[in-house]
Structure 1
Amino acid sequence: MRDKGCAFASCSRAPCHCEAHQVIPWAHGGTTDLDNLVLLCSAHHRLLHRSDWTLRMVNGLPEFTPPEFVDPWRRSRSNRHTAQPRAA
């Protein structure tokens, strides 16, 4: 398993406090498989749905990009503590 808790940068919530989130929503052609799902705590799940934060997968790991008002350079952030590449 890749996600060992909330995948959002700097979050340490355990998997039992997380929900699955589709990187590419089903309504936009996303699939319900592990390569398109990340674990997020409810606070970060809501943040992604209700703000301008974006999520994308890079080399099999989730990367979060903040809106410009949070970071004018919009530097991507990852949580390397709870997300590990999946074994092939």
Structure 2
Amino acid sequence: LNAGRRRRHATGAIRRALHIRDKGCTFPGCDRPPRWTDAHHLTHWADGGPTNLDNLALLCREHHRLIHDPTTGWHIQLGPDRRPDFIPPPDIDPTRQPQRNLYHQRQ
């Protein structure tokens, strides 16, 4: 499940693995299903990020735009269990505690 730098977009196998792992948009509180999401590079492709499961997270269009907007201050990283954690900007949480989308994990 690693296309490396050969492909910018997730392969079918990587996309299926993302559907299983993420179950939908990974932004905290979002209920969008996998079919309404894009595969987002945690380390952006333009910055040398590879296309692999550990560098991708599913995001709906609204949250994909939000994460790409540098003025919002949101950051994504993989947690110890290899699931996406969202670090909020200081104006939302001064302690910048990681947040997760728990909606899809309940299903």
For normalisation by structure 2, the TM-score amounts to 0.71
Cα offsets for 1:26-55 (capped at 9, x unmatched): 222211112211100111111101121000
Shift of 1:74: 1.2
Structure 1, unaligned stretches of length 5 or more? 84-88
Name the larger-Rg structure.
2
What residue in structure 2 maps to residue 69 of structure 1? Answer: 91
Q: Which has the higher helix share?
A: 2
Q: Does 1:32 find its partner at 2:51?
A: yes
Q: Which has the higher contact order (CA 8 A, sep 6+)?
A: 1
Picking from 42, 45, 48, the partner of 2:67 is 48
Q: CA deviation at 1:18?
A: 0.7
Could you tell me the percent identity over the aligned residues?
45
When normalised by structure 1's length, the TM-score is 0.85
What is the number of residues matched between the two proteins? 83
| TM superposition outliers: structure 1 runs of 4+ over 4 Å | none
2:77 aligned counterpart, secondary structure: strand
Structure-1 residue corresponding to 2:100 = 78
Residue 10, structure 1, aligned to residue 29, structure 2: yes
RMSD: 1.3
